Amino acid sequence: MMKIFTTLLFAFCVTNLSHAGTAEGKRALKNQNFAVALKELRPAAAKGDPEATYLLGGMYGAGFGVKKDAKKAVELYGEAANSGHVGAQKEYGAALALGEGIEKNTDEGLKWLMIAVQQGHQGARDFAKNFTK
């Protein structure tokens, strides 16, 4: 019983630490302190935090503190999208639909955009209108 409690406590602490890094990284990103943002977001993303992964994808997509890399951005958006991050689902769908950083696949892109739309993402809805007439 003690082993189960210890394991759960450890998992809780790791989860909260990754969220703390994400919050710090998000704050640093907002303040355009890209070195600190990377320092905080990379480990949180490596631990599977979808928000950190999404933000890191945005940094690669825009070239904030890193060499601009559309392929890496899409890879990160895909990871976060598969974890249920609605903003990443929109970005991943848009990249697929346009073929930016990944082979163009309009049908797959629309699928991801619609997943984001179903969660209430207005930007995904507006973007998808360009591909559905």
Average pLDDT, the chain: 87
Q: What is the pLDDT of residues 65-112, one digit of tens each?
A: 999 999 999 999 999 999 999 999 999 999 999 999 999 999 999 999
With a cut of 60, say whether residue 10 has pLDDT above it. no
The pair of structure tokens assigned to 45 is 């993303």
With a cut of 50, say whether residue 62 has pLDDT above it. yes
- Find, among 66, 119, 116, the residue nearest to 95 by Cα: 116
pLDDT, position 130: 87
Nearest 5°: the CA angle 52, 125, 31 is 35
- Global pTM? 0.83
With a cut of 70, say whether residue 7 has pLDDT above it. no
Contact at 8 Å (CB) between 34 and 47? no
Neighbours of 22 (CB within 10 A): 24
pLDDT, position 126: 94
**Over the range 96-109, which residues count as b (16 or more CB within 10 Å of their CB) and which as e?**
bbeeebbeeeeeeb
